């Protein structure tokens, strides 16, 4: 999985609790992404980062925040988890975000989150 790890790989939590998912890369790629994958919806972008401390919102950012204090780490936080946030979360990285650049993405193994 291209030097990308996600932790934890599985988590069960209760509604209203905070949850933080971690993505760690060893590829030194500048751009990092968080997606959620749900049946019938495919892969949807939550937030992305274009450098340390530089982040932006994706398609489904409500209820999520992110932080990137080091090139290699990108954290996704659910401040107060809800059942609608039960999903599989994927982290991805890319060398470029320019449309004409090397914008192929490499994905981590995913985190399965269940919110009861």
Q: Should residue 103 be labelled a site residue for another protein when binding is judged by CB under 8 A?
A: yes
Q: Which of 49, 53, 63 is nearest to 92 (CA)?
A: 49
Copy the structure tokens of residue 110: 């995913």
Copy the structure tokens of residue 102: 């090397």
String of b and e for 3-41 (b: at least 16 CB within 10 Å)?
ebebeeeebebeeeeebebebbbeeebbbbbbbbeeeee
Given a contact cutoff of 8 angstroms between Cβ atoms, the answer to whether 16 and 37 are in contact is: no
Q: Should residue 106 be labelled a site residue for another protein when binding is judged by CB under 8 A?
A: yes
Q: Should residue 57 be labelled a site residue for another protein when binding is judged by CB under 8 A?
A: no
Q: Which span (20-28, 42-50, 65-73, 75-83) binds another protein, by CB under 8 A?
A: 42-50
Copy the structure tokens of residue 73: 């780490």
Q: Should residue 93 be labelled a site residue for another protein when binding is judged by CB under 8 A?
A: no
Minimum distance of another protein from residue 8's CB (angstroms):
15
Q: Should residue 62 be labelled a site residue for another protein when binding is judged by CB under 8 A?
A: no
Q: Should residue 23 be labelled a site residue for another protein when binding is judged by CB under 8 A?
A: no
Q: Should residue 92 be labelled a site residue for another protein when binding is judged by CB under 8 A?
A: yes
Residues within the interface to another protein (CB under 8 A): 1, 4, 33, 35, 40-45, 48, 50, 58, 90, 92, 97-100, 103-110
């Amino acid at each position: 999985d291209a030097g990308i790890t996600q932790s934890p790989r599985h988590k069960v939590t209760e509604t209203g609790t905070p949850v933080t998912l971690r993505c760690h890369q060893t590829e030194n790629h500048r751009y990092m992404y968080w997606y959620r994958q749900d049946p019938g919806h495919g892969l949807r972008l939550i937030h992305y980062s274009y450098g340390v401390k530089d982040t932006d919102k994706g398609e489904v950012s409500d209820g999520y925040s992110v932080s990137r204090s080091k090139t290699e780490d990108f954290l996704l936080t659910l401040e107060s988890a809800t059942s609608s946030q039960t999903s599989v979360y994927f982290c991805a990285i890319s060398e470029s975000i320019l449309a004409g650049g090397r914008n192929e993405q490499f994905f981590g193994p995913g985190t399965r989150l269940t919110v009861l």
